[in-house]
Structure 1
Amino acid sequence: MKDWPLLIETSQLADALHDPNLLILDTCSAANYADHHIPGAVHIAPSELQSGVKPAVGKLPSIEALNALFTKVGLTPDKHVVVYDDEGGGWAGRLIWTLDVIGHQNYSYIDGGLHAWLHDGYATEKVANLPAPIEQNISIDSLPIAEIEDFIHLLDNSQLAIWDARSPEEYRGEKVFAQRGGHIPGAINLDWLELINRDKQMRLKDTSKLQSRLNELGLTADKTIITHCQTHHRSGLSYLLMKILGYPHIKAYHGSWGEWGNSETTPIETGDHPQPSAQKP
């Protein structure tokens, strides 16, 4: 399984479904998991991937909570983790970021997740899978994590780019889910929904075309890129896409707009930010 790419098709998993080296983690809604899930999949509720503490509810859970979560699912270093969700990659990407944070980098994402699995006609089950708990002693790798203090003084640095994966209305400050609306100065907006082909079972759009789009916007692989949304849920997908594309220097701002927009001291811009592509003659 170590030779599997990050992005896999449903057929690849179907052919290896009963491999004992696999740990399949489902981050769908509880209702979808109860109704139909990939055989052998263990459920992780999306809420278990976030601290839930206001105002920045999307921050990483405590080390104690992470130990409890990964003890419950039976994670071991040798397991190849396969992740999926029911929405096109947001929660699955959030889980992959979490795996990076705890130092487990042996994983794959099923393109299209549950929607693709059902469309392609593969078997599902209803019975919950409850593996034997395996005690964890997690340590945190801070490299994939961006905190305000890490980058607030670097907003003018040309080698840093901030990818805001929220809707354009949130970015411009027209739709507000915090004390203040708008965006981080200089941040580049590309809505996470623009990455998903909703007419093809929530699979990712063509990755070469997505790469061209990122390049046009100045979200290039030579930069350090920090991605965020409101709670680092939607930006789970932008983080995942950059992993798939091989970006070497990426981080997620897990405080996201829930933290930035509820602070009284952070700088904020509103309206449209001039994008690099718009500046071309």
Structure 2
Amino acid sequence: MSSETPQLPLILDPATLSRHLEDPHLLIIDVPLKVDSYPAGHVPGAIFLDSRRLLAGYGEVPNDVPTEAALSTLFSELGLTPETHVVAYDDEGGGWAGRLLWTLELIGHRRYSYLNGGIHAWRADGHPLETISNTPTPSDYQAAYLNPALQIRREELIERLDDPQLAIWDARSAEEYRGTKGDNRKLGHIPGAVNFDWLDVMDKHNDLRLRDYAELITELEARGLTPDKEIVTHCQSHHRSGLTWLAAKALGYDNVRAYPGSWKEWGNRDDTPVEK
């Protein structure tokens, strides 16, 4: 057991995590889509996080970023400290885990990893499961938006729609992108945005791990999502695009931002242009 924070990669395979379970600086957070996933079996030592805590939860854009005060409360309850290395995972291939890691990056906490494939990969590889709930040791964490450029606001996005250095990655389904499906006042997509469904980022035949990096890069570049550009990713609520933000980061894209308002905001306003 080391007294130093472990040096773990951004994308963590189950076997590597299994060797670090006893590390005192590790905070493993299970942020599942299905609430019964955690009690049914989780990584030993993992803490449960209700994904709704990662959203503002009120106002016209309830999926927006929580206030700094709300994030301070949340991360203090979870026991986060500057020395903590967070390992996030979920039960759906990385959406909510990605949103959590994006939030950590937003507040300047860069010690984190994603358990590749989440609980599905952990189970499939035969690692032990735990069913008792774990209670974190609270801390006094003061969260602030130390990395505000990680998010793009609606106003800046509207201004920069013609910027050739900006590429918008719409992580929703093809039907939502084309405007044949959705429950917003306006259907369609942000002008110039390209569609690459978040489900196509994960490998359905390999326990929802990220797909082969070379294949992903080829498919993204074919859509104009190239590493030299500033990439903005979004979905309906910046839940699915939690994964696409994380995947782009894993692929070596240096300038990836997310639009937390996403289509929930864009598709319900009068002043936002829409393409179908």
Tell me which interval the TM-score lies in, with the shorter structure as reference length. Answer: over 0.9
Q: Is 1:9 the equivalent of 2:13? A: yes
Matches of 1:93 and 1:261, distance apart in 2: 23
Matches of 2:210 and 2:248, distance apart in 1: 12
Matches of 1:2 and 1:181, distance apart in 2: 45
Matches of 1:67 and 1:3, distance apart in 2: 25
- 1:55 deviation in Å? 3.8
1:38 to 31, 38, 43: 43
Identify the residue that residue 266 of structure 2 maps to in structure 1.
Answer: 260
Aligned residues: CA RMSD: 1.1
SS of equivalent residue, structure 1 residue 88: coil
Gaps of at least 5 residues in structure 1 are 271-281
Q: Is 1:80 the equivalent of 2:100? A: no
Residue 172 of structure 1 aligns with an amino acid whose one-letter code is: R
- 1:246 deviation in Å? 1.7
Deviations 1:58-102 (A, max 9, x none): 111122211111011100111111110000000111011000111
SS of equivalent residue, structure 1 residue 11: helix
**Do the aligned residues in 2 keep the contact of 1:50 with 1:58 (CA within 8 Å)?**
yes
Q: Summarize the alignment of residues 47-58 of structure 1 with structure 2, pairs less than 5 Å apart.
A: 47-58=52-63
**Do the aligned residues in 2 keep the contact of 1:164 with 1:229 (CA within 8 Å)?**
yes
2:22 to 7, 18, 23: 18
**Do the aligned residues in 2 keep the contact of 1:229 with 1:257 (CA within 8 Å)?**
yes
2:216 to 194, 210, 220: 210
Matches of 2:156 and 2:45, distance apart in 1: 40
Deviations 1:4-23 (A, max 9, x none): 21011100000111111111
Q: Summarize the alignment of residues 132-143 of structure 1 with structure 2, pairs less than 5 Å apart.
A: 132-140=137-145, 141-143=147-149
Deviations 1:134-156 (A, max 9, x none): 01211112110110111211111
Residue 175 of structure 2 aligns with an amino acid whose one-letter code is: E
- 1:233 deviation in Å? 0.2
SS of equivalent residue, structure 1 residue 143: helix
Q: Is 1:119 the equivalent of 2:124? A: yes
Residue 81 of structure 2 aligns with an amino acid whose one-letter code is: T
Deviations 1:18-76 (A, max 9, x none): 11111111111321111111111011111111112254221111222111110111001
Residue 215 of structure 2 aligns with an amino acid whose one-letter code is: K
Identify the residue that residue 242 of structure 1 maps to in structure 2.
Answer: 248
- 1:243 deviation in Å? 1.0
Identify the residue that residue 273 of structure 1 maps to in structure 2.
Answer: none
**Do the aligned residues in 1 keep the contact of 2:151 with 2:259 (CA within 8 Å)?**
yes
Residue 243 of structure 1 aligns with an amino acid whose one-letter code is: K
Aligned-residue sequence identity (percent) comes to: 47
Matches of 1:208 and 1:36, distance apart in 2: 33
**Do the aligned residues in 1 keep the contact of 2:47 with 2:133 (CA within 8 Å)?**
yes
TM-score, normalising length: structure 1: 0.94
Gaps of at least 5 residues in structure 2 are none
Matches of 2:117 and 2:59, distance apart in 1: 31
- 1:252 deviation in Å? 0.5
SS of equivalent residue, structure 1 residue 30: coil
**Do the aligned residues in 1 keep the contact of 2:6 with 2:25 (CA within 8 Å)?**
no
SS of equivalent residue, structure 1 residue 210: helix
Matches of 1:207 and 1:198, distance apart in 2: 15
**Do the aligned residues in 1 keep the contact of 2:217 with 2:251 (CA within 8 Å)?**
yes
Matches of 1:227 and 1:164, distance apart in 2: 6
TM-score, normalising length: structure 2: 0.95
